[in-house]
């Protein structure tokens, strides 16, 4: 049980900036976390915090310039194309935007078959697999011959999930997969994520800016701020009684959908900001 | 259920480009012309009555007649036969130029756009150089060095034309290169060749086909020009050399110049029109047609849904508290529709009633497609192209906005009804400073001097919590953050002290911590100015934070309306309850991972598929 699926240690990601001898932009400044089989690790933070970059680094889509990413003990941060191809049935991805993550000119069947062809699955077996996948994500069988534009956002996201599941991976990096969806669609897609996890034992690295989504899905939660993880631990602990001042601010900022409780919450937030301000001042004096 | 994925629209008919072109009037006509010219050239040996190069002194400058269908030239060669054979060489020459241009431009553009790096820099520099070269001069120089070969000069011309394709492909590839589906293909382990073939070539195919028709026309014209100047190969008949011949004998036999000129003109015009027709057809397949379809299917869904439900909106009694004043805005029976190409109207908002009091924040809640934004925009009369109010009235301060002329509406908009958009950045003009964008409306609405407007703008920026108003005043939009931009827009919206503020998802694009601050700002301003506010949102947290009353919309209709506490605590409509149930804020955290038997390494097999 305690074996680690993914082990991220002190990872640094730097993007070179245009201009002669300019310091590169550090998107990640030494980030560490680990994921166990069948576990959901929530990665929460605001725009520019580096949470998406961490997901992309795991997928080999971001330049890792320091630290290590180990998948089942094997170093993958500098994996070659061929090694990546081997990894494609271990690590998969579901992106945020269901409108640009599916090629508009390919049918759903072509989209789902694509990862299978890389693994040289026979045509007939591939067709069977497509039918199975559509079933898993609750899409009707006649969806196979349609184009992505004929589907709603929630349905497209189901297709993207089916594509990720095609090779039966052990880890799926989910980059804000429900952020673009309507509230009730979002709830249903999240239920699907949980159901698939309970059935197949896949692990998720679940990136989101939405605290409620992360709390609902995650066993453990990491909070990112300015390219660093500022808090990391069990979901109930991090989302229930956060310790880091930034996490506290973050959680107090999210409004509660109840007028009276939100009024109290708002007052609490102002008190917290005031308190943190005082502490900062004292720290500055001392 | 909203997202039951069973009802799918019928698949869009996929008609091949060629078939669509035949249905397009100019497309079909130009295809016909090109087909006839190509056919005549190919069949030249069969159709021609004479050898194109045989000189016959008997028939020098012969008139058109039974022996020479279109007459003969100064060497007694048959014009009709020469025209047919010249077609072979002229078309083949143009195709050579095209092939070279496509080969160089498309492969170069693909590689440079996809991989970037040094190849990108070098090829972009080369493209710039090629485009700076005067084509005619290069061709003349090449002829002087390499001799009068049409094939060689067309190849060189192809190189000169390649930037047209390079730039086109390069732009398409860099646009699509960072699309998420390309990333997804990479994660799937697809090789670069496969990704380019599968995902990238499909994107550049259409523009390359269109560009090819244009380039072919240019190549034919340039080639004719070269030959006309007498710089061509005199041993082969081409339309250009015939033009030259005709021009020399213009006074003796005027018709000699006519035939090649007609053919060249017809082919070039046909190619240009064909390119336009292809552009029409290839680009019409996306865009407006899709939107129309969605709107109409939404309307149909909605008609069906109401027929099935047959239930009316739930209306909670208003609370009689002291804070809210008299009625500011009363929308009664509002309908919004979009005119369709076939003359019908698709209705996206139906019989919407909405009442906003002075000093009240009214939340307009719903999911995408519910018509909440359409309703808000129709109050401002800022509906997108083709949209209009189809019925009902919008009584604002005893005046029906639906009846006002466009000119009268301009006076209301901005001054009495202000607007805060969802995307702050795209609503600021990148070419002007923040200050000038704040001052301009104030000078128009309030008729104040520039100095006074500046003073007010600075005061407003300070008021919306911008730490250094002077600096932001002089900044351009790209120099400030999204949260700051939204503050600027809020400052602009309240600058003319409006009675009603319409905010369309004002915090959706912002981070939660910024959202909390913007919500605080809105609350303070609303308290101070006693505006009525319509807050369009899908976030119940925002509603709870700011709103006094709420209207819930679904597929263009109001399903429930009432004071905010009544909606949260006592929702009457099933759809409202469903929305409230979907809220995750109060659900328990998932807790730590339990020991699950599933985690003990499942074999990596799919049903029937061994990987």
Tell me, what's the pLDDT at B283? 67
The CA distances from residue B364 to B370, B395, B525, B598, in Å, are 10, 18, 19, 45
Instruction: Name the residue of chain B whose CA is nearest to A249's CA.
Output: B513
Query: Would an 8 Å CB–CB cutoff place A220 in contact with chain B?
Result: yes
Candidates B5, B189, B538; nearest CB to A88: B189
Shared domain check, A147 and A272 = no
- Taking CB atoms and an 8 Å cutoff, what residues of chain B touch A266? 520, 545
Contact: A257, B544; criterion CB under 8 Å: yes
**Pairing mode, if any, of strands B417-420 and B500-504?**
parallel
Query: What pLDDT is stored for residue B284 in this prediction?
Result: 58
Is residue A281 exposed (0-12), middle (13-18) or buried (19+ Cβ within 10 Å)? exposed
Domain that holds residue A23: 1-90+169-241
How many CB atoms sit inside 10 A of residue B127's CB?
22
Do A197 and A261 lie in one domain? The reply is no
Written as six digits, the tokens of B490 are: 């809020």
Output the pLDDT for position A42: 94
Same domain for A147 and A187, yes or no, is no
Residue A66 DSSP label: E
User: Last residue of some domain: A138, A168, A198?
Assistant: A168
- From the list B8, B511, B519, which residue is nearest A143 (CB)? B8
Q: Which of B544, B593, B604 is closest, CB to CB, to A89?
A: B604
Residues of A in contact with B579 (CB under 8 A): 183-184
Interface test with B, best of A6, A138, A170, A182 (most B CBs within 10 A): A182
Q: What residue of A is the nearest CA neighbor of B595?
A: A1
**Residues B469, B475, B481, B483, CA torsion sign:** positive
Residues B180, A100: C-beta atoms closer than 8 Å:
yes
Q: Please choose, from the candidates B604, B8, B195, the residue with its C-alpha nearest in 3D space to the C-alpha of residue A159.
A: B8
B-facing residues of A in 110-129 (CB < 8 A) are 114-116, 118-119, 121, 125-126, 128-129
Q: Does B602 touch chain A (CB under 8 A)?
A: yes
Q: How far is B175 from chain A (nearest CA, A)?
A: 12
CB contact under 8 A, A167 and B611: yes
Amino acid B394: pLDDT: 92
Structural domain includes residue A76: yes
Q: Are A150 and B12 in contact (CB < 8 Å)?
A: yes
Mutate to test the interface with A, among B578, B589, B591, B597 (most CBs of A within 10 A): B589
Check CB contact of B519 with chain A, cutoff 8 Å.
yes
Whether residue A208 sits in one domain with residue A68: yes
Note whether B193 and B63 are within 8 A (CB): no
Spatial separation of the C-alpha atoms in residues B208 and B164, rounded to whole Å: 10
DSSP B540-581: HHHHHHH-SEEEEEETTEEEEEEEHHHHHHS--SHHHHHHHH
Rounded to whole angstroms, the Cα distance separating A40 from B593 reads 8
Any residues with CB less than 8 A from the CB of B223 and at least 6 apart, and which? B90, B93, B94, B97, B150, B153, B154, B157, B232, B238, B240
Neighbours of B309 (CB within 10 A): 14
Residues in chain B with pLDDT values less than 70: 1-15, 283-311, 319-324, 595-611
Which chain B residues are closer than 8 Å to A268 by Cβ?
none
Domain co-membership, A132 together with A185: no
Burial label, B117 (beta-carbon count in 10 A; 0-12, 13-18, 19+): exposed
Full pLDDT tens readout for chain A, 286 residues: 457 899 999 999 998 877 667 778 888 999 999 999 999 999 998 888 899 999 999 998 888 999 999 999 999 988 888 888 888 889 999 988 777 888 888 889 989 998 888 778 888 889 899 999 999 888 888 888 888 888 888 888 899 999 999 888 999 999 988 888 888 888 888 999 999 999 999 999 999 988 889 999 999 999 999 999 999 999 889 988 899 999 999 888 988 888 898 999 899 999 999 898 888 888 876 5
Nearest to B115 by CA among B182, B62, B163, B66: B182
Strand A203-208 and strand A25-35: the pairing is unpaired
pLDDT at B269: 92
Per-residue confidence (pLDDT) for residue B72, from 0 to 100: 80
Cβ–Cβ gap A212/B601 under 8 Å: no
Q: Could you give the CA distance from residue A272 to residue B220 in angstroms, rounded to a whole number?
A: 76
Task: Let me know if residue A98 belongs to a domain.
Answer: no
Residues A31, A13: Cα–Cα separation, whole Å: 9
Does B2 contact A182 at a Cβ distance shorter than 8 Å?
yes
Per-residue model confidence (pLDDT) at position B610: 37
Q: Order of strands across the sheet with A64-71?
A: A25-35, A6-15, A64-71, A74-75
Contact criterion met (CB < 8 Å) for B538 and A183: yes
Domain total for chain A?
A: 3
Are A258 and B544 in contact (CB < 8 Å)?
yes
Residue B72 DSSP code: B
Using CA coordinates, name the residue in chain B closest to A149: B290
Find the radius of gyration of the CA atoms of chain B: 35
**Pick from B5, B511, B579: CB nearest A47:** B511
Strands (E), chain A: 6-15, 25-35, 40-44, 64-71, 74-75, 91-94, 171-175, 203-208, 220-225, 228-234
Could you give phi then psi for residue B89, rounded to 5 degrees?
-70, -40
* Per-residue DSSP letter, B197: I
CA B472 to chain centroid, in Å, comes to 32
Distance of alpha carbon A110 from alpha carbon A158, whole angstroms: 15
Going by the DSSP 8-state scheme, the letter that residue A207 receives in this structure is E
Specify whether A267 is located in the same domain as A129. Answer: no
Identify whether residues A55 and A179 lie together within a single domain: yes
Q: Which of B228, B265, B248, B238 is nearest to B73 (CA)?
A: B248
Alpha helices in B285-353 (DSSP H): 288-309
Residues A123 and A107 in one domain: yes
Q: Nearest-5° angle of CA B466, CA B467, CA B471? A: 85
Nearest to A168 among B367, B511, B604 (CB): B604
Strand partners, B537: B365
Q: How far apart are CA A114 and CA B549, in angstroms?
A: 50
Chain B residue closest to A265 (CA)?
B545
Nearest CA of chain A to the CA of B547: how many Å? 8
Top-level CATH class of B17-47+72-284? mainly alpha
A250 occurs within a structural domain: no
Distance of CA B464 to the CA centre of its chain: 35
Using the beta-carbon criterion (under 8 Å), do A235 and B590 form an inter-chain contact?
yes
Q: How far does the CA of residue B191 sit from the closest CA of chain A (Å)? A: 8
Q: Which of A255, A260, A267, A270 to mutate to test the interface with B (most CBs of B within 10 A)?
A: A255
* A89 within 8 A of A169, measured Cβ to Cβ: yes
Determine, for residues B589 and A186 on separate chains, whether the beta-carbon distance falls below 8 Å. Answer: no
Task: Flag if A250 and B587 touch (Cβ within 8 Å).
Answer: no
User: How far lies B505's CA from each of A179, B364, B420, B423, B530, in Å?
Assistant: 15, 10, 8, 9, 20
Distances (CA, A) of B606 to A39, A121, A132, A192: 21, 11, 10, 19
Q: Which residues of A touch B12 (CB under 8 A)?
A: 147, 149-150
Q: Which residues of A touch B6 (CB under 8 A)?
A: 140
Q: Are residues A8 and A76 in the same domain?
A: yes
Q: Is A178 on the interface with B (CB under 8 A)?
A: no
* Residues from chain B contacting residue A160 (CB–CB below 8 Å): 184
| Segment holding A11, helix H or strand E | strand A6-15
Q: Are residues A186 and A48 in the same domain?
A: yes
Cross-chain Cβ contact B513/A46 below 8 Å: yes
Q: How many residues does chain A have?
A: 286
For the domain that residue A57 is a member of, what is the CATH number? 3.40.50.300
Tokens standing for B245?
């011949």
Q: Cβ contacts of residue B17 below 8 Å, gap of 6+? A: B209, B278, B281, B282
Task: Note whether A9 and A86 are same-domain residues.
Answer: yes
A247 within a domain of the structure (yes/no): no
Q: In this complex, is the C-beta atom of A244 within 8 Å of any C-beta atom belonging to chain B?
A: no
Contacts of B608 in chain A (CB under 8 A): 125, 128
């Amino acid at each position: 049980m305690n074996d680690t699926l993914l082990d991220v240690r002190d990872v640094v990601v730097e993007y070179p900036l245009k201009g002669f001898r300019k310091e590169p932009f550090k998107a990640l400044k030494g980030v560490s976390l680990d994921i166990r089989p069948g576990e959901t690790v929530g990665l929460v933070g605001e725009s520019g915090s580096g949470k998406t970059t961490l997901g992309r680094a795991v997928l080999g889509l971001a330049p890792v310039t320091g630290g290590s990413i180990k998948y089942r003990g094997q170093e993958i941060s500098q994996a070659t194309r061929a090694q990546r191809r081997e990894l494609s049935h271990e690590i998969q991805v579901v992106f945020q935007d269901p409108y640009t993550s599916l090629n508009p000119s390919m049918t759903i069947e072509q989209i789902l078959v694509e990862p299978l062809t890389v693994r040289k699955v026979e045509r007939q077996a591939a067709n069977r697999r497509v039918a199975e996948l559509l079933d898993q994500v609750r899409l009707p069988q006649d969806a196979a011959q349609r184009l992505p534009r004929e589907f709603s956002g929630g349905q497209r996201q189901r297709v993207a999930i089916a594509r990720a599941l095609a090779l039966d991976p052990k880890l799926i990096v989910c980059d804000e997969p429900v952020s673009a969806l309507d509230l009730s669609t979002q709830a249903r897609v999240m239920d699907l994520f949980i159901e698939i996890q309970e059935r197949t034992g896949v692990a998720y690295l679940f990136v989101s800016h939405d605290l409620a989504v992360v709390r609902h899905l995650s066993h453990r939660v990491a909070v990112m701020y300015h390219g660093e993880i500022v808090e990391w631990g069990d979901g109930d602990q991090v989302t229930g009684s956060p310790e880091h001042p930034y996490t506290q601010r973050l959680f107090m900022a999210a409004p509660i959908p109840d007028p009276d409780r939100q009024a109290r919450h708002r007052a609490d937030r102002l008190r917290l900001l005031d308190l943190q301000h005082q502490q900062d001042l004292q720290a500055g004096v001392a | 259920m909203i997202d039951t994925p069973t009802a799918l629209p019928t698949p869009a008919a996929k008609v091949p480009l060629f078939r669509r072109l035949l249905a397009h009037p100019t497309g079909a006509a130009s295809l016909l012309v090109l087909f006839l010219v190509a056919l005549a050239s190919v069949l030249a040996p069969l159709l021609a009555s004479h050898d194109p190069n045989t000189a016959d002194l008997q028939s020098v400058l012969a008139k058109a007649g039974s022996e020479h269908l279109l007459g003969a030239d100064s060497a007694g060669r048959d014009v009709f036969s020469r025209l047919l054979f010249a077609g072979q060489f002229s078309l083949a020459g143009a195709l050579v130029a095209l092939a070279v241009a496509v080969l160089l431009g498309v492969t170069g553009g693909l590689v440079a756009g996809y991989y970037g790096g040094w190849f990108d820099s070098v090829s972009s520099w080369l493209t710039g150089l090629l485009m700076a070269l005067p084509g005619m001069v290069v061709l003349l120089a090449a002829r002087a060095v390499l001799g009068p070969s049409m094939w060689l000069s067309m190849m060189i011309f192809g190189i000169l034309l390649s930037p047209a394709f390079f730039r086109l492909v390069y732009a398409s590839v860099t646009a699509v290169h960072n699309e998420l589906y390309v990333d997804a293909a990479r994660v799937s382990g697809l090789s670069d060749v496969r990704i380019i073939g599968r995902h990238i070539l499909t994107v550049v195919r259409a523009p390359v086909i269109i560009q090819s028709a244009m380039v072919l026309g240019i190549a034919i014209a340039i080639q004719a020009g070269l030959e006309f100047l007498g710089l061509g190969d005199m041993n082969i008949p081409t339309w250009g050399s015939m033009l030259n011949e005709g021009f020399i004998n213009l006074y003796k036999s005027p018709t000699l110049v006519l035939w090649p000129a007609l053919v060249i003109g017809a082919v070039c015009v046909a190619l240009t029109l064909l390119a336009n027709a292809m552009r029409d057809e290839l680009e019409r397949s996306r865009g407006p047609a899709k939107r129309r379809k969605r709107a109409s299917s939404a309307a149909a869904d909605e008609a069906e849904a109401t027929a099935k439900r047959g239930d009316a909106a739930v209306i909670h009694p208003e609370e009689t508290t002291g804070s809210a004043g008299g009625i500011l805005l009363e929308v009664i029976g509002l309908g919004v529709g979009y005119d369709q190409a076939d003359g019908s109207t698709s209705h996206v908002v139906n019989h919407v009633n909405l009442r906003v009091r002075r000093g009240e924040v009214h939340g307009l809640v719903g999911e995408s497609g519910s018509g909440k934004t359409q309703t808000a925009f129709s109050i401002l009369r800022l509906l997108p192209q083709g949209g209009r109010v189809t019925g009902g009235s919008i009584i604002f301060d005893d005046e029906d906005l639906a009846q006002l002329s466009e000119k009268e509406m301009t006076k209301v908009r901005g001054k009495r009804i202000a607007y805060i958009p969802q995307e702050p950045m795209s609503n600021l003009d990148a070419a002007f400073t923040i200050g000038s964008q704040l001052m301009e409306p104030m000078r128009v609405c309030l008729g104040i001097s520039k100095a006074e407007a500046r003073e007010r703008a600075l005061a407003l920026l300070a008021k919306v919590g911008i730490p250094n108003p002077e600096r932001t005043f002089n900044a351009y939009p790209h120099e400030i953050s999204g949260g700051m931009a939204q503050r600027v827009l809020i400052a602009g919206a309240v600058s003319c002290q409006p009675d009603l503020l319409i905010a369309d998802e004002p915090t959706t694009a912002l981070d939660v911590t910024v959202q909390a601050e913007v919500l605080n700002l809105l609350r303070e301003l609303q308290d101070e100015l006693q505006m009525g506010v319509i807050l369009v949102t899908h976030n119940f947290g925002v509603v709870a934070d700011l709103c006094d009353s709420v209207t819930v919309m679904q597929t263009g209709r109001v399903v429930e309306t009432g004071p905010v506490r009544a909606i949260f605590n006592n929702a009457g409509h099933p759809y409202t309850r469903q929305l409230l149930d979907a809220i995750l804020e109060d659900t328990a955290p998932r807790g730590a991972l339990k020991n699950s038997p599933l985690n003990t390494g499942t074999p990596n097999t799919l049903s029937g598929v061994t990987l």
